[in-house]
Structure 1
Amino acid sequence: MAAIGSQSSKTITILLDQSFFIFAGLASFWLAWLVFREGLATGGWWLVGLFFVVWAIVSYLALPRLHRILSNMYVPNYFIGRTRTADGILSDPINLSVRGSEEKLHKAMTAAGWVLADDITPRSAWKMVLTVLSGRSYPNAPVSPAFLFGRRQDFAYQQEVDGNPRRRHHVRFWRCPDGWLLPGGHRVDWLAAGSYDKSVGLSLFTFQLTHKIDEDIDIERDYIIESVKKSEKYIRVTVLKDFSTGYHSRNGSGDLIRTDGDLPILEVGRVRIDKPIATLKRFGIIMDGTIHDRCPRNHETLLEELWSRRPPQILIGSVLMILASLFAVGQTLVDISSWTETLAVVTNIEQIDINLANTALSIMAVLNILLVIVEFILVGLLLRGSNRARISLLAVAMLAIITESLSVTTGRINASAVLLLTSIGVHIMIMMLFSSDAARYFTERR
């Protein structure tokens, strides 16, 4: 009976998670519509930032979540020779593989003049934006995450062109799971996806700012192979002819891609290493956009590091929830301080029981403060890994979005409505973060 009850509870939790996940996506579209409606209705200064606000909401909140939902429905959850974006969209093809240790692979790439890309952090992302805008060199510029085997790349190498980060050669590498074989029974240690960034533009699918790649990815594949072979005489190359059917398609940003379907295998096992190379320890977070609910049990996905530390999705969402709670407390204090003036205006319009009104205000203030206390407790439990606290906070954020949306929908734009729209956006972000894979995996394992 206990096992049945546990299974039933797990099923309910999964259904709630899926419901919150979908609601967050729909709410982001609703927020975009509210901002658009109020901007057109009022005009003036509001129209100045209207386009950018709606674009940011749709591109970075609504469309990614929509793609994620649709991808769960139609993208197969097994290896098909394609990587996936953080939004779950099919991305660059796997066009290269490697046999050999990580140390020898690093030696071969660095000897060929390739530079290890930085991890994406707030600092590196900001530096990337500045260098792209200014055209300055950034040899270690980070590359966007792509996903294979349920995780982002283990590392990536790149070569700038003319000292400009807008154009670069780059290739991402993933370690294959232990005992995993390619279709056809071939064993390799690494899979890779190489492409050439030719410019910066907007994604066709999400309208996010991103690099645009050259259509013929076979040229980049062959360039990577030739550059490595020139620098290391011990490297050999074998080719799996027609590994996949040659095709024309699009990658995760909507760029055209064309390939002949061959899969070369770089044999780096004979590369000589004079002294040990310090390999970087990478921390692969399962980000919100992955379409994998589970990773292969026998795969070294670095998820154990994820369980031992709180993922950014949990930390950022908790900070936003605390800020939203403090805002609610401040709003309650403002209502209490201005209650006398409000009551004087209302009594001139209609007859009301002042004592009853004061009692109602007191009850509402106490309830709001109690709710904030409960939210603080839930945040504390969530930081300790409580899955029930995460589900409860998702429910709180959903109720806040519904009530605040009704308040804005029934009125017109003013200072109070602007604050409500901001609050709606914050609570949508909270739902996006707490319904992400990283947040869910963290609380389920803890």
Structure 2
Amino acid sequence: MDKLTRLGVLFRLLWRLLVLVLTFGLAYVTAFVAFPYLDKRLPLLEALLLLYLALAYLGIPAIIRFWRLAIRPNHIPLYAVTPDGWPSDPVNIVILAKNQQQLISAMAAAGWQQADKANLKNLAKMLWAVLLNRPYATAPFSSLHLFGRAQDIGFQIQQGNPPTPRHRHHVRFWRLPLTPGEHARFWQIALQDLLIGKREVWVGAATHDIAPFAIRWRSGQITHLIDEMTDRERDFLIDSLKQAKALGSLTTVKAGQPLRFRGQTFGVNIVADGYVKVVKLRRFYR
């Protein structure tokens, strides 16, 4: 082991130790400072709820982000990741479109609603719709990252009677960067034979929300429960484009081996066949 490698190992060990100290520090402050303070001023249930919100949505995510400053995620291009760098939804579909408007038009013709931006107002509106089982056809998505950024656009088909955000088919898309970046080269090589003419490449991750509530095992946050057989959602999307006569051609690209990995929520093990379906839209969709 050369000197540079030894220094790298030492740095990672020290960084892990620092994260461990911060984790114990957060636990100590929560149990012996924050809780006694809140318990004296609020009813027990309110104090516990406030502590949960602070830990799940501020404290634990902050420590995970600090960990990821030095310990980079190890994933192949088939994954989109959470803002903290953890593998999340498999990337399983690519759409080749003339431009973003053609993508929006084709998805609309296939029955998909474009998701609203995930700002505070829209997130509160979605939470209200989920809790009361009320319609919100363009409910926002949480952010997942590919190519070093959150999704550029998302679409959904909600289910139920009436259809609500509790159960929905949904897909996130990232436009492939024109310049090489995180994983971009992989897609440029994989799709080089298909990129004839000026077309934009939209890399997508399609999943199916099958229950309104689940717990993220790393942070304790509340989220949707997704169907672990993610290939079915990819095929559902493709079938909807076929029925709308928006599909020009369909090609399969092998992106890796069949995958099975632990999902973001308790009890979910994501399954993917290792293939990405590439859809070229028909020209008349503008």
TM-score normalised by length of structure 1: 0.52
| Aligned: 1:61 with 2:58 | yes
- How far apart are residue 134 of structure 1 and its match? 0.7
SS in 2 for 1:66: helix
- How far apart are residue 184 of structure 1 and its match? 8.2
- Paired with 1:233 and 1:175, the residues of 2 have a C-alpha distance of 19
- Determine which structure has more spread, i.e. the larger CA radius of gyration: 1
The residue that corresponds to 1:135 in the other structure is 133
- Paired with 2:55 and 2:28, the residues of 1 have a C-alpha distance of 10
- How far apart are residue 140 of structure 1 and its match? 0.3
The aligned runs of 1:90-101 (5 Å cut-off) are: 90-100=87-97, 101=99
Distance change >3 Å, CA 247–CA 219, structure 1 → 2: same
Contact 1:84 1:252 (C-alpha < 8 Å) held by counterparts: no
The aligned runs of 1:192-203 (5 Å cut-off) are: 192-199=204-211, 200-203=213-216
- Paired with 1:46 and 1:107, the residues of 2 have a C-alpha distance of 52
| Aligned: 1:70 with 2:67 | yes
Letter in 2 for 1:181: R
RMSD: 2.7
Out of 142, 158, 161, which is 2:159 matched to?
Answer: 161
- How far apart are residue 144 of structure 1 and its match? 0.6
Deviation per CA, 1:259-293, whole angstroms, max 9, x where unpaired?
Answer: 1111110111x3314xx6xxxxxxxxxxxxxxxxx
The residue that corresponds to 1:388 in the other structure is none
Letter in 2 for 1:35: A
Contact 1:112 1:231 (C-alpha < 8 Å) held by counterparts: yes
The aligned runs of 1:70-219 (5 Å cut-off) are: 70-76=67-73, 80-100=77-97, 101-162=99-160, 163-179=163-179, 180-182=184-186, 185-187=189-191, 189-199=201-211, 200-219=213-232
SS in 1 for 2:56: helix
Out of 253, 257, 267, which is 2:270 matched to?
Answer: 257
Contact 1:39 1:50 (C-alpha < 8 Å) held by counterparts: yes
The residue that corresponds to 1:327 in the other structure is none
Letter in 2 for 1:56: L
Letter in 2 for 1:141: A
- Structure 2 portions without partners, runs of 5+: 1-14, 196-200
- Paired with 1:131 and 1:206, the residues of 2 have a C-alpha distance of 24
Letter in 2 for 1:267: K
- How far apart are residue 31 of structure 1 and its match? 3.7
Distance change >3 Å, CA 227–CA 90, structure 1 → 2: same
- Paired with 1:78 and 1:198, the residues of 2 have a C-alpha distance of 25
- Paired with 2:130 and 2:49, the residues of 1 have a C-alpha distance of 20
SS in 1 for 2:89: strand
Distance change >3 Å, CA 205–CA 194, structure 1 → 2: same
| Higher helix residue share | 1
Deviation per CA, 1:242-272, whole angstroms, max 9, x where unpaired?
Answer: x21112112334532111111110111x331
- Paired with 2:128 and 2:242, the residues of 1 have a C-alpha distance of 35
The residue that corresponds to 1:313 in the other structure is none
The residue that corresponds to 1:406 in the other structure is none
Identity of aligned residues (%): 29
The aligned runs of 1:246-395 (5 Å cut-off) are: 246-254=258-266, 255-268=268-281, 270-273=282-285
Contact 1:239 1:265 (C-alpha < 8 Å) held by counterparts: yes
Contact 2:157 2:169 (C-alpha < 8 Å) held by counterparts: yes
The residue that corresponds to 2:256 in the other structure is 244
SS in 1 for 2:270: strand
Contact 1:154 1:173 (C-alpha < 8 Å) held by counterparts: yes
Letter in 2 for 1:257: I
Contact 1:25 1:65 (C-alpha < 8 Å) held by counterparts: no
Distance change >3 Å, CA 59–CA 233, structure 1 → 2: closer
- Paired with 1:161 and 1:85, the residues of 2 have a C-alpha distance of 25
SS in 1 for 2:228: coil
- Structure 1 portions without partners, runs of 5+: 1-17, 277-446
- How far apart are residue 98 of structure 1 and its match? 1.7
- Paired with 1:71 and 1:246, the residues of 2 have a C-alpha distance of 26
| Higher strand residue share | 2
Distance change >3 Å, CA 260–CA 25, structure 1 → 2: same
- How far apart are residue 50 of structure 1 and its match? 2.9
- How far apart are residue 60 of structure 1 and its match? 0.9
TM-score normalised by length of structure 2: 0.78
Contact 2:82 2:144 (C-alpha < 8 Å) held by counterparts: yes
Contact 2:214 2:265 (C-alpha < 8 Å) held by counterparts: no
Contact 1:169 1:220 (C-alpha < 8 Å) held by counterparts: yes
Letter in 2 for 1:61: L
Contact 1:91 1:253 (C-alpha < 8 Å) held by counterparts: no
SS in 1 for 2:278: strand
- How far apart are residue 157 of structure 1 and its match? 0.1
Out of 238, 241, 249, which is 1:225 matched to?
Answer: 238
Distance change >3 Å, CA 265–CA 272, structure 1 → 2: same
- Paired with 1:238 and 1:215, the residues of 2 have a C-alpha distance of 23
